[in-house]
């Protein structure tokens, strides 16, 4: 049996579920009366992890974003990881908005979590490993305490726990 137990804190969004949600949102947009003749579309760049909303004006962009969020929430995709940009004007008098998908925990958020764990005086060690956070302890009970502590805090990203050993 190992002397130290550990788990990873990550923040992931399932890209295939996002893709399916976007397809469902586009089906809804095509059928909705308020989007008729507006040339509204949602495109998804899987490699760069961003979604582009394109429509005739900023009001339709907001409605398009609401439809997208509704479809994402129905699939239980964490909405905290979607960061909308500003609505900007595009070619042909259209409006565009880019929504960035946050994959992984940003370094500043990870440092904030490590600081919060240290301030709580829990007997664990934490290490930032790229876009995840590794928590190690000799006691499984301490690890569960840290999990509950992190679930209770608001760090601006949705947290999942992986590799519980």
pLDDT tens digits for range 62-86: 999 999 999 999 999 989 889 999 9
pLDDT of residue 1: 44
Average pLDDT, whole number, for the chain?
87
pLDDT for 89: 85
Helix (H/G/I), strand (E/B), else coil: 42: strand
**Nearest CA among 128, 131, 129, 102 for reference residue 117:** 128
* Domain 15-101 in the same topology as domain 5-12+105-162: yes
Place of tokens 């947290």: 159
> Which is the CATH superfamily of the domain at 15-101?
YajQ-like, domain 2 (3.30.70.990)
pTM across the whole model:
0.81
Its CATH class, for the domain covering 5-12+105-162, is alpha beta
Mean pLDDT of 93-103: 90
Domain boundaries, the chain: 5-12+105-162, 15-101
């Amino acid at each position: 049996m190992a002397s130290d137990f550990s788990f990873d804190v990550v923040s992931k969004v399932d890209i295939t579920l996002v893709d399916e949600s976007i397809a469902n949102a586009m089906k809804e947009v095509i059928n909705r009366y308020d989007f008729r003749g507006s040339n509204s579309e949602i495109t998804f760049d899987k490699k760069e992890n961003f979604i582009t909303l394109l429509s005739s004006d900023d009001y339709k962009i907001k409605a398009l974003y609401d439809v997208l969020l509704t479809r994402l929430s129905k699939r239980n995709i964490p909405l905290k990881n979607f960061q909308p940009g500003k609505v900007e004007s595009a070619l042909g008098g259209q409006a565009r908005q880019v929504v960035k998908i946050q994959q992984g925990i940003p370094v500043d958020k990870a440092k904030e979590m490590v600081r919060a764990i240290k301030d709580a005086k829990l007997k664990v060690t934490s290490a930032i490993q790229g876009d995840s956070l590794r928590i190690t302890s000799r006691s499984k009970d301490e690890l569960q305490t840290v999990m509950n502590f992190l679930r209770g805090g608001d760090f601006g990203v949705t947290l999942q726990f992986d590799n519980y050993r």
